[in-house]
Amino acid sequence: MNDARDVLKNAYVPYSHFPVGASLLMKDGKVITGVNVENVSFGATNCAERSAIFTAISQGYKKGDIKAIAVAGETEDYLPPCAICRQVMVEFCEPDTPVYLTRHDQSIHETSVSGLVPYAFEKLDM
């Protein structure tokens, strides 16, 4: 969780001023972080969770290698991933992968990928 909070300072958020940090604990013990990176064309913006997951994949990790996910921000309530990030989590995580959501006071809410996406769209649905 601290890794997600520590990386907040690296977020590129000149438009929203809404930094988000994410960290992945991989099954081999490595921690991979990501931040949101905005673009003036908001559709080109990438969220922290996807930045971290895509970094893991680019480093050779595979579907199922993520042991846990943490999301940190400076919000009043727990900071949940957006719908696109949730779908990416479904693609690369097991349904029971723990997801830890935080808020500005650093309290933590634990859920899971299936808790975030109870009726996930999966390859079996294609």
The reply to whether 47 sits in an annotated binding site is yes
93 annotated ligand-binding residue? no
Structural tokens at position 119: 């009726």
CA distance 33 to 76: 22
Residue at token pair 């438009």: 15
Task: Reply yes or no on whether 49 is catalytic.
Answer: yes
Which residues make Cβ contacts (< 8 Å) with residue 12, sequence separation at least 6?
Answer: 35, 36, 37, 38
Q: Single out the catalytic residue among 49, 74, 76, 94.
A: 49
- Ligand-binding annotation for 82, yes or no, is yes
Asked if residue 61 lies in contact with residue 38, where contact means CB atoms within 8 angstroms, the answer is no
Which residues are annotated as catalytic? Answer: 49
Binding residues for Zn(2+): 47, 82, 85
